[in-house]
Structure 1
Amino acid sequence: MENKYLDVLIIGAGPIGIACALECEKRDWNYVVIEKGALTNSLFNYPLNMTFFSTSEKLEIDDIPFISNNPKPTRNEALEYYRRVTTSNKLNINLYEEVAAIKKVENYFEVKTSKGHYKAKKVIIATGFYDIPNLLNVSGEDLPKVFHYYKEAHPFTLQDIAVVGASNSAVDAALEIYRKGGSVTIIVRGDSIGERVKYWVRPDILNRIKEGSIKAYFNSEIKKIEESHIIVETPEGEITLPNDYVIALTGYQPNFEFLKAAGIEFSKDERHIPNYNDESMESNVEGLYLAGVICGGMETHKWFIENSRIHAKIIAKHMEKTLP
């Protein structure tokens, strides 16, 4: 494929990537969005029955109304909303195309993908952090019975399930599997269920643990995963639990290697926050911008759709200084 010359190339077709595309449309810039998966791929991979913490108006982009049946929309309603925004505005998005490399050459970027090559004056990275799970790093984690993503409860009916984690995703999975007939044990490294768990869900999981419907081991970690059981380190010592599946929902992280290869620098501490100007969202690489939750590095609870959707307008305003 021959090189395609662009004003702006956007990587990631999530809500923030879509918001960036809308800003390019308004200014008649020549742009394309490159997405390695489906449209809003991270949302697509959320659990089927997930309900957002935020209300629908906080998930809106560019003041386009998001109408949902209830104040807090579901995954399916969000998929429909962002799909309609994309198709109604005829946004230029290439799906199932993966960016392999970004290289700055003088005053433009060379971008190589799985389907071609592009040259762009500006690049926006809005890839989120949902692609790379935080691993347990224990023996047996590579067994087919171990999952780092959760979709639905039905496959786990009548099975012994260990859910690892204490965040919204872990709690939602534990409760749903329990109600679909699974025997659920939740294993938590800390001493309690996370404080960020949705306020209408947290009492539910605490009551299920209190009554014994869901077993819970706090200040505990899985040490080894076997075909028929797991070994767990608890404050009282090691225990062996029967187990059919492990659902390790211990969080995710951005693709730091991809960002490093593009020339982006990071903070030296464990937060690993990428270097960018919060007044323009431009990284330490001139002309290369960051948008959305990826700006938080390992602080994955810092940015969400509702507080990072403004990044699109900030970036566009800054790019107006150098783009026609």
Structure 2
Amino acid sequence: MQEFDVVIIGGGPIGIACGLEAKKQGLSYIIIEKGTIVNSLFNYPVNMQFFSSSEKLEIDEIPFISKEAKPKRNEALEYYRRIVTSNQLNIHLFETVTHVKKQEDSFIITTNKAQYKGNNVVVATGFYDLPNRINVPGEDLPKVSHYYNDPHYYASQKLAVIGASNSAIDAALECWRKGAEVTLIIRGPEVGQRVKYWVRPDIINRIEEGSIKAYYNSEVKEINPTAIIVTTPDGDVTLENDFVLALTGYMPNFEFLEKLGIALSEDEKRLPSYDPETMETNIPGLFLAGVICGGMETHKWFIENSRIHAPIIINTIRKRMAPEGKEISLHP
């Protein structure tokens, strides 16, 4: 069984940043990622443009050069992939962590491929894997998706988009421009205030001119193979429908956190317990990094404001090892 000073679960930007920092400080480490490099970003829509400028997405002060001030998905994939390959980071891809067990002062990490021993564990798994379900009849029909990829797929189709955030509004506009008949179903009274500032006026104009139909203060009541039923302030409305994009957000894997023994707040925010000075949870030696720190408040942590987690965590681990006189060698 291989032993590491740090086992990092999650190969997104912040997991990669933790690996870079561990390597720089001479700690042995491994990054375990269940998908490809920056798997969540890979699953973003093909035409997605970040809200953040490229320099705010940089990790370890490695320059991120993009064609525009705000980079697109393909540029981010190139950037993070090159960081991994050029720095020869020790990352295991398409390997899923199934169990983490505390054993005295270390951890046994079991995956679908191997077992590892880690003196410390960093959880940097993000929140993009579990969609917030709307829990209505018909949600599991093949015509319904909680993820959006390419607008071409919906050309000449009657498409309902549920949600008022960036992902929903981007999908509605892109699909309309490719020839879909788009209807927005929004639970609140308006398009979300956190929608990208250059996109929000666009969708409002399209709604006001009638190009995109919007139902405010409304919710989908039922989905069937040929229609959806929407509850509106004026009563239920039945709409002909070919496809539904339920883009109502995503959540961290709380079940995984609870299995690790991490305490979660009992309110709807489900905030995990950690010390912001060290990022260590209530389990000694177990740390959190990145957007997972926000629980259900997934809008609070981004790449740009959680990059600092990597040096905080690795510095904490390094300082604890130094007094013990442990030799720090430059493992790959």
Could you say whether these structures have the same fold, taking a TM-score greater than 0.5 normalized by the shorter chain as the test? Answer: yes
The residue correspondences of 1:198-217 to structure 2 (distance < 5 A) are 198-217=196-215
**Superposed CA offset, 1:190-240 (max 9, x none):** 000000000000000000000000000000000000000000000000010
Corresponding residue number in structure 1 for 2:76: 78
RMSD, aligned CA: 0.6
**Superposed CA offset, 1:28-74 (max 9, x none):** 21110000001000000000000000000000001000000110000
Amino acid at match of 2:54: S
Corresponding residue number in structure 2 for 1:235: 233
Residue 322 of structure 1 and its aligned partner are, at CA, apart by 2.3
Corresponding residue number in structure 1 for 2:95: 97
- Counterpart CA distance in 2 for 1:153 and 1:284 is 44
The residue correspondences of 1:7-156 to structure 2 (distance < 5 A) are 7-156=5-154
Amino acid at match of 2:306: S
Residue 321 of structure 1 and its aligned partner are, at CA, apart by 2.1
Amino acid at match of 2:169: V
Residue 268 of structure 1 and its aligned partner are, at CA, apart by 1.6
User: What TM-score results when the alignment is normalised by the length of structure 2?
Assistant: 0.96
- Counterpart CA distance in 2 for 1:20 and 1:321 is 16
What is the number of residues matched between the two proteins? 322
User: What TM-score results when the alignment is normalised by the length of structure 1?
Assistant: 0.99
- Counterpart CA distance in 2 for 1:165 and 1:49 is 19
- Counterpart CA distance in 1 for 2:189 and 2:113 is 48
Gaps of 5+ in 1: none
1:299 aligns with 2:304: no
Gaps of 5+ in 2: 327-332
Amino acid at match of 2:140: D
3-state DSSP class of the match of 1:322? Answer: helix
Corresponding residue number in structure 2 for 1:225: 223
- Counterpart CA distance in 2 for 1:72 and 1:281 is 29
Corresponding residue number in structure 2 for 1:182: 180
Amino acid at match of 1:24: A
- Counterpart CA distance in 2 for 1:31 and 1:54 is 29
1:289 aligns with 2:282: no
Structure 1 vs Structure 2: percent identity of aligned residues? 63
- Counterpart CA distance in 1 for 2:36 and 2:254 is 22
3-state DSSP class of the match of 2:187? Answer: coil
- Counterpart CA distance in 1 for 2:56 and 2:320 is 31
